[in-house]
Structure 1
Amino acid sequence: MWSRIQERAARELSRPRQMFLPGLEPTMRAMPNHIARSSLFAPLSKTHQRRFLNDHILISRRDVVIRFRGIQLDESQADVWMQLMHIASTSPLGEPFDVRSASILEAMGRQIGGAEYRWLRRAVEALYTATLIIDVVNKYRIGDGDSDGDGIRMIDRFRYDASRKQYTFVIDPRWVAMYGNQEFARIDWEKRLAIKRGQDMAKTLQRLVATSADKVQRYGLDLLKEKLQYTSPLRKFRSALCAALTELERVEVIAAAHIGTSTRGSEQAVWTKL
């Protein structure tokens, strides 16, 4: 009985569906909370050797297990995905839509040119090969044992027309479940574009800040270091974190940021969400 119920639910999720994002202004972008809280996208340096991860469990909350297969993803690829999902939300997910390369780059505040077109193609390919299995306790399970196979891709399908410099994308309609019940982070796009180059950690933290309605937010440094996939010593992470928090204060995402001590005696980052 339960297997039949799951199968029917999976079939329903796989049909083309409109994604409603209530309260989302044109200057905002949306990312499912469970994705924004996880270690899927990280502030990886340009010199960082990207690893291919297979059945890798992402850092996330205890009520969700996200398994990942693909090349490590960075914040620039998070920008591409948010912009594509923003465009895709205007029509039912599961149906193809066209978008010119230049319009994607312009929306991200990037230059238009051959090098940027090639960069965008690499980002799209990385998102296409990125596959997730998502299990949210007592809510839903996507990508494992359902009628659509063993994973959900960040980009389900794409085609590139080089003569027109235009992509045709298809986004898996199962993503609608991840945005349901307004469980998505509202990312201020203008403030994100205002973050200085080289401050990808600030971009990661901006997404994390947006996942919670709490005004005062606290995160242990050990957890942040692991979530942000920072491999250098803690003292270097602390310095980089302080710089990122200062940048988020500058663009008015947070205020009163500081490193403090929790009631258990461990270091934590504390800030006020604006």
Structure 2
Amino acid sequence: MTLTLVRAKQPGAAAAALARLAENRRAAAATKAPAAAAPPELFLPGLDELRRAMPNHIARSSLFSPVARGPKTLHRETVLVTRKDAVVKFWGEQLDEAQADVWMQIMYEARTRPLGEPILICRARFLRAIGRHTGKYEYAWLHRTMKALSFAMLVIEATSGDKPKLYVGASGALHMLDGFDYDDIRKEYSVRVDPRWRYLYENREFALIDWTKRLQIRQGQDMAKTLQRLVATSDDIVQRFRLEWLKEKMQYRSPMRKFKSSLDAAMKELERVEIIAAGRIELSTKGIEQAAWTRLDSRTSYRGSVPLASGLRSGRAG
């Protein structure tokens, strides 16, 4: 007679084997697929509650301009006015200086979250932070601006010494805002910023805007706000720009004589809030009309010497 020996299994042996198998699979997966990199954050030296930042290629371009109220130009692959070292193509509604305030404040608040993750924005607090009052009209305006910024799309190509330096937006749409949602119960926005925007700020290629002084600029002086952003793109103490280029950059359609008058008023406004000194229109050595001024270092000027134009207490978010 043949006897068959059967070895009794120890209690829990099967469970232990399955646990070892699962652990081996997890270890193998970890070696094959390394963990995804954490979303980048927007860390900008010098950015604080008193300053906002804008990439130089944006600040120098005609993307944001002191255009009049009313129907705006709708751009479709328009090459914007900027310096020779960049080509900026734009799709969307012409943006103005008030919308520039919104975008700079959003990018300021984006510093608290990894880029691409939702940023929660209380609309009342946000409006106060950009020097505006709260109310039905202002809330509707902010919502329209959120839509305009989400629709606005760019392709940016920058060079350095005739060599490619930066190319953003060609392989996928780069929007001013990657999108937003609005919670009508909480009265707050959830806004997303495309992580690729960090490339526009790299190597300190951004202008720091004195926010307190910007809020001191009087209403109706959007051209002064445009000049403030332009002044901040350069560390040169004495700055000069051709009138024809400035007029085109600002999308100013009236005759040159009217532009000169508006430009003179804008320079006087920047002198009043101590951003520039000795603003003037002069002839270059080649006989070309240009605007010139002396940039004042905001770090050495007296803050708060001029009241806020809006009548609000502060542009600080809180």
TM-score (norm 1): 0.92
| Number of residue pairs matched by the alignment | 256
Deviation at 1:24, TM superposition (A): 2.3
Is the 8 Å Cα contact of residues 46 and 208 (structure 2) preserved in structure 1? no
Is the 8 Å Cα contact of residues 27 and 189 (structure 1) preserved in structure 2? yes
Is the 8 Å Cα contact of residues 97 and 170 (structure 1) preserved in structure 2? yes
Q: Give per-residue Cα distances to partners, 1:137-194, cap 9 Å, x unaligned.
A: 221211112xxx2x20000010001111100011000000000111100000010000
Match among 99, 106, 109 for residue 87 of structure 1: 109
Is the 8 Å Cα contact of residues 62 and 82 (structure 2) preserved in structure 1? yes
Match among 139, 143, 164 for residue 165 of structure 2: 139
Q: Give per-residue Cα distances to partners, 1:39-64, cap 9 Å, x unaligned.
A: 000001113x2011000000011111
> How far apart are the structure 2 equivalents of 1:23 and 1:245?
25
Deviation at 1:103, TM superposition (A): 1.4
Match among 109, 114, 118 for residue 136 of structure 2: 114
Match among 59, 69, 72 for residue 94 of structure 2: 72
Is the 8 Å Cα contact of residues 216 and 273 (structure 1) preserved in structure 2? yes
**Matched AA of 2:140:** R
Do residues 33 (structure 1) and 56 (structure 2) align? yes
**Matched AA of 1:178:** L
Match among 123, 126, 136 for residue 148 of structure 2: 126
Do residues 233 (structure 1) and 255 (structure 2) align? yes
**Matched AA of 2:98:** S
User: Once superposed, what is the RMSD of the aligned Cα atoms?
Assistant: 1.1
Bigger Rg, structure 1 or 2 = 2
Cα 1:118–1:228 change in 2 (3 A) is: same
Identity percentage of aligned residues: 55
Deviation at 1:15, TM superposition (A): 7.3
**Matched AA of 2:186:** R
* Counterpart position of 1:167: 189
Q: Give per-residue Cα distances to partners, 1:123-147, cap 9 Å, x unaligned.
A: 11110100000111221211112xx
Match among 58, 64, 68 for residue 45 of structure 1: 68
Runs of 4+ in 1 over 6 A off after TM superposition: none
Structure 2: 5+ residue stretches without partners: 1-36, 297-318
* Counterpart position of 1:5: none
Match among 42, 61, 79 for residue 19 of structure 1: 42
* Counterpart position of 1:223: 245
Superposed counterparts of 1:245-256, under 5 Å? 245-256=267-278
> How far apart are the structure 2 equivalents of 1:89 and 1:59?
29
* Counterpart position of 2:236: 214
**Matched AA of 1:50:** K
1:89 partner SS: helix
1:133 partner SS: strand
**Matched AA of 1:30:** A
1:244 partner SS: helix
Q: Give per-residue Cα distances to partners, 1:43-90, cap 9 Å, x unaligned.
A: 01113x201100000001111111000000000000000000000012
Segment of structure 1 superposing worse, 97-106 or 227-236: 97-106
Match among 292, 295, 298 for residue 273 of structure 1: 295
**Matched AA of 1:44:** V
> How far apart are the structure 1 equivalents of 2:145 and 2:232?
24
Is the 8 Å Cα contact of residues 15 and 173 (structure 1) preserved in structure 2? no
1:249 partner SS: helix
1:260 partner SS: strand
> How far apart are the structure 1 equivalents of 2:259 and 2:60?
19
> How far apart are the structure 1 equivalents of 2:131 and 2:109?
16
> How far apart are the structure 2 equivalents of 1:162 and 1:219?
46
> How far apart are the structure 2 equivalents of 1:182 and 1:103?
29
Do residues 61 (structure 1) and 83 (structure 2) align? yes
* Counterpart position of 1:9: none
Structure 1: 5+ residue stretches without partners: 1-13
